Amino acid sequence: MDIITDPKAMQRHAGQVRDSGRIIGLVPTMGYLHEGHLSLIRRARELSGCVVVSIFVNPTQFGPGEDLASYPRDFANDCAISERAGVDVIFSPRETDLYPEGYQTFIQLDKLPLHLCGRSRPVHFRGVATVVAKLFNIVKPHLAVFGRKDYQQLMVIRRMVRDLDFDIRILGEPTVRESDGLAMSSRNAYLAPDQRESALSLHGSLEAARRMIQGGETSAARLIAAAVQRITAHPQASVDYIAVADPETLEDVEAVSGPVLMALAVKIGKTRLIDNMVLEP
């Protein structure tokens, strides 16, 4: 497995891999790898001759007061995990490699960031779209694999790829969960045992909404109210948002008549967690 930090060296390597006729599959991550990341890596492995995992805690997608400085990192363990999973290249640039002095170009989508996480994280998706576009230009992948755990991010990337004519196939993989339903996340490392218990209410409220819809409930307001009640029963939990939305536009829906995205962000203590499910009547 090669470890490359210099973007120019990565571009040269990617050019050689492409010239040799191999498919490049990219899995962008912020590191602290877990089974969720591994499922994306396995998918990329199935479809590509060269799997590149990028590890970069991207400062432009963090707002002031967010957890950029404390974001969990363990590069040596990420390398060991990646090597075992058959990754060909780890691309881990330094901050100043991607955002040198004088940097001033950003990608901003008009509508998708107005919903869900974008409301409380106004610069987040501008940072995500920008860094992913840069990774695409550096790693030159034929395909890139993302998790549906970050549903809005996946939609932003798909939209950007269509709008800017990137010749890259985007795959979205299902959310990998712990055996008790908690969606895997690097940020779960922040949770104390009692907080982890409270965090189960995210998945629990999505499952409860699924049962309500199967039982004939169509009111988004009642689905949201039930989820708020279940989550706020935990004293350390505070709801950022709970939304029932159109799975494509992410706009709020009032009545469930077809597939809907139920998405939520909840702070457990200081840790902000997200989860979502597409629910069908």
The catalytic residues are 37
Which CB, 88 or 173, lies closer to ligand AMP?
Answer: 173
Q: Establish if 134 lies at the interface with ligand AMP (CB under 6 A).
A: no
SS (H, E, C) 225-280: HHHHHHHHCCCCEEEEEEEEECCCCCCECCECCCCEEEEEEEEECCEEEEEEEEEC
User: Does residue number 147 form part of the binding site for ligand AMP (CB under 6 A)?
Assistant: yes
Six-digit token string for 240: 């950022």
Shortest Cβ 266–ligand AMP spacing (Å): 16
Q: Does 171 bind ligand AMP (CB under 6 A)?
A: no
Local structure of 8: helix, strand or coil: helix
Q: Which is nearer to ligand AMP, 31 or 212 (CB)?
A: 31
- Say if residues 31 and 55 touch (Cβ distance below 8 Å): yes
Q: Does 144 bind ligand AMP (CB under 6 A)?
A: no
Show the binding pattern over residues 87-126: x = contacts ligand AMP (CB under 6 A), - = does not: ----------------------------------------
DSSP class of 174: P
Q: Site for ligand AMP (CB under 6 A): which residue of 36, 118, 127, 141?
A: 36
- Output the smallest distance, CB 57 to ligand AMP, in A: 9
* Whether the Cβ atoms of residue 28 and residue 154 lie closer than 8 Å to each other: no
150 forms part of the interface with ligand AMP (CB under 6 A): yes
Q: What is the number of the residue whose Cβ is closest to ligand AMP?
A: 147
Cβ contacts of 122 within 8 Å, gap of 6 or more = 63, 113
- x/- binding map, residues 175-214, to ligand AMP, per CB under 6 A? xx------xxxx----------------------------
Which phi and psi angles does 84 have, rounded to 5°?
Answer: -60, -30
Contacts of 237 (CB under 8 A, 6+ apart): 198, 201, 231, 266, 267, 268
Least Å distance, CB 6 to ligand AMP, is: 22
Q: Which two tokens stand for residue 19?
A: 């010239």
* Nearest CA-CA partner of 191 in 266, 88, 141, 258: 266
Site string for ligand AMP, 241-260 (x = CB under 6 A): --------------------
Q: Which residues bind ligand AMP (CB under 6 A)?
A: 29-30, 36-37, 39-40, 146-147, 149-150, 173, 175-176, 183-186
